[in-house]
Each structure stands twice: as structure tokens, then as C-alpha cells.
Amino acid sequence: MVSKFREKEVAIKLRKSGYSYSEILKKIKVSKSSLSEWLRNIKITNSQLERLRSKNATARKLGSIALKSKRLSKTKEIIDMAKTEIKNLNDDYLKVIGAVLYWAEGSKQSESEPSRELIFTNSDPKMIKIYLLWLKTCLQVNSEDIKFEIYIHESYSKTPIVLSSYWSKVTEFSVNHFCKIYIKKNKVNSFRKNNGDNYYGVLRITVRKSTDINRRVMGWVEGICLQFQRS
């Protein structure tokens, strides 16, 4: 009983000195409910309250940094492990990968546009690289038959030279291939994920005289669908 009374006195003294509940609990081994009961009528000064708020904010920030670091470490570990699961890919895999990419992001022919050429639009540089490799390797498309156009909203203040240089580096085509740059006037959706300093617009890739190639690619897509049909 004496010990409990002494603990209460120490707790009240610490609280009046501006200690937080968590700081007091580290010094006095009592339950949080007992501590709350002892201190419920104890007032602290505004400066002490501000200190506690600042301390809590710092603790939350440090906690957030620690969680982010842990998340990034776990993400890297998973990605590195998953990389090892993809290996020994040959041109047959590339054919399927490219066909599925075009299926998702390419322009398809229709009754109203039966002669649509091969047109692919995206902003992901890695995807663009794979797509161009697929064009040359699996479809035997000549470089001179590939046409590029850049589309970007006017709110992104990048000069034509910056844009053409960026996409030239990504595609390994001369900057002369990127003279067609279209500035979009419409309002940018504030929820779009592609924004900021690392955004260089969308690249539209057209293959000249590729109506039959488009039909062939759609045949590949149909073949993929048939291969994975389940009865």
C-alpha cells in the first residue's frame, strides 16, 4: 500500500513536470488504467502541452520513416526474388509479350476502320523499349517505317528539345524522329498518376503501311486465347 502511494506521488510529480503518460509508464510499473485514474485531474501548462504535442509529432514522423524504410526493404526483397523466377526467355516469349502489350495498349481494327495501322501509345519507357524490340525482332519492321509523335499537356513546361531528347534516349532513335509534338490544351486531371518532373508525355508509335501486320497481331492474340481456353 505504501509502495502504491509512493508510486502515485511520483507519477503526479512527473506529470506536473510535463511528462507524457508513456514517459511516466517507463519509470513506474503500473497499469495505464491506474495511471489515468491518478492523473485525470492534473493540469499541465501550455508550454508543457506544446512540448508533448511536438514530441508526439516527432515520434509519429520517425515511426512513419521507419515503416517506409521497412516497406521499401520488403518491396525490394520481393522484387529481387521475383526477378529470379523469370529467366531463359527467347523470341517466342517476346512474340507473346508483344502481342499482349498491343492487345492492351494498341489500336485495333474495326468495321468502321478496317485498315487501321499498327499504332501503340504509352508513357512507360520500359514498355516502349520492349514494344520496339518486339516490332523489330518478331515483326521484322524496319526502323524507317516507324513514326513517333509526342503528346503532352500544356501545364507541363518542358521544351520540345527536352522532350525529343528524352524520348530519343529511350528509343535510341535520332531526335529528328520526334519533331511532331502535340500540346494538349484541355485541363489536366488532378488525379492522374503520371505527373511531376519525371513526366515526359505520351509517345505514340505508328508503323507505316502496317494494316496487314495489325491483322497478323490480332491473329496472335486469338491464338493466345485459344491456347488458354478451358473446357
pLDDT at 187: 62
The b/e string for 89-116 (b: 16+ C-beta within 10 A; e otherwise) is eeeeeebbbbbebbbeebbeeeeeeeeb
Per-residue pLDDT tens digits for 29-47: 888 888 888 888 787 778 8
pLDDT-above-90 percentage for the chain: 57
Against a cut of 0.85, is the pTM above it?
A: no
Per-residue pLDDT tens digits for 146-196: 999 999 988 887 888 999 999 999 999 999 999 899 988 766 554 455 556
Please give, one letter per residue, the 3-state secondary structure of the chain. Answer: CHHHHHHHHHHHHHHHCCCCHHHHHHHCCCCHHHHHHHHCCCCCCHHHHHHHHHHHHHHHHHHHHHHHHHHHHHHHHHHHHHHCCCCCCCHHHHHHHHHHHHHHHECCCCCCCCCCCEEEEECCHHHHHHHHHHHHHHCCCCHHHEEEEEEEECCCCCCHHHHHHHHHHHHCCCHHHHCCEEEECCCCCCCCCCCCCCCCCEEEEEECCCHHHHHHHHHHHHHHHHHCCCC
Contact 165, 150 (CB under 8 A): no
Per-residue pLDDT tens digits for 105-160: 999 999 999 999 999 999 999 999 999 999 999 999 999 999 999 999 888 878 88
pLDDT-above-70 percentage for the chain: 94
Q: Name the residue ranges covered by the structural domains of the chain.
A: 2-80, 91-227
Contact 149, 116 (CB under 8 A): no
How is residue 140 written as a grid cell? 521484322
Could you count the other beta carbons within 10 Å of the beta carbon of residue 128? 20
> Cα 19 to the chain's mean position, in Å?
42
